[in-house]
Amino acid sequence: MANLMEQTLERVVNRLGSTYYGKYRGIVTDRVRELLAFECTRAREFYRRAVDVRPESDRRRLVAAEIMRAVYFETLKRIERRGYDVFGGRVRVPKPRQAAIALKEWLWVTTTSSSSAPGSRD
């Protein structure tokens, strides 16, 4: 995840033309927070769109993908709650919480006909 985060930061910083990344690498500055907030907003939009375009008829077939989406969405929320500090330690969802998310998603997929996914309402 840290390597992916660094790649994302480099891509966004390069796109926005910032020179701060090289100088402050590994330090959560206001600029880094701004960049990560931008990426988190983008990710939230991708998660929302994924739920919106998924055909209702594919819900059961895509249960594993829905579980993965919900776990990654939880990781995203944890990054946001930490004030976008991705350098101070690993951002992860503990295994028991992952299991609870998986069960919730599986129950939702197998027992409802709603088109909104439980792991993306927050």
**Residue 94, both tokens:** 């503990």
State the pLDDT at residue 27: 78
Q: Residue 78 in 3-state DSSP?
A: helix
Q: Please, which pLDDT band fits residue 57 given cuts at 50, 70 and 90?
A: confident
Render pLDDT for 68-107 as a digit per residue (tens, 0 to 9): 999 999 999 999 999 999 888 899 999 999 999 999 999 9
Tokens of residue 95, six digits: 């295994």
Query: Which of 51, 50, 53, 94 is closest to 74 using CA atoms?
Result: 94
pLDDT of the residue at 78: 96
Banded pLDDT at 119 (limits 50, 70, 90): low
3-state class of 14 per DSSP? Answer: helix
- Winning range, highest mean pLDDT, from 3-12, 34-43, 110-119: 34-43
Residue 88 CB coordination number (10 Å): 11
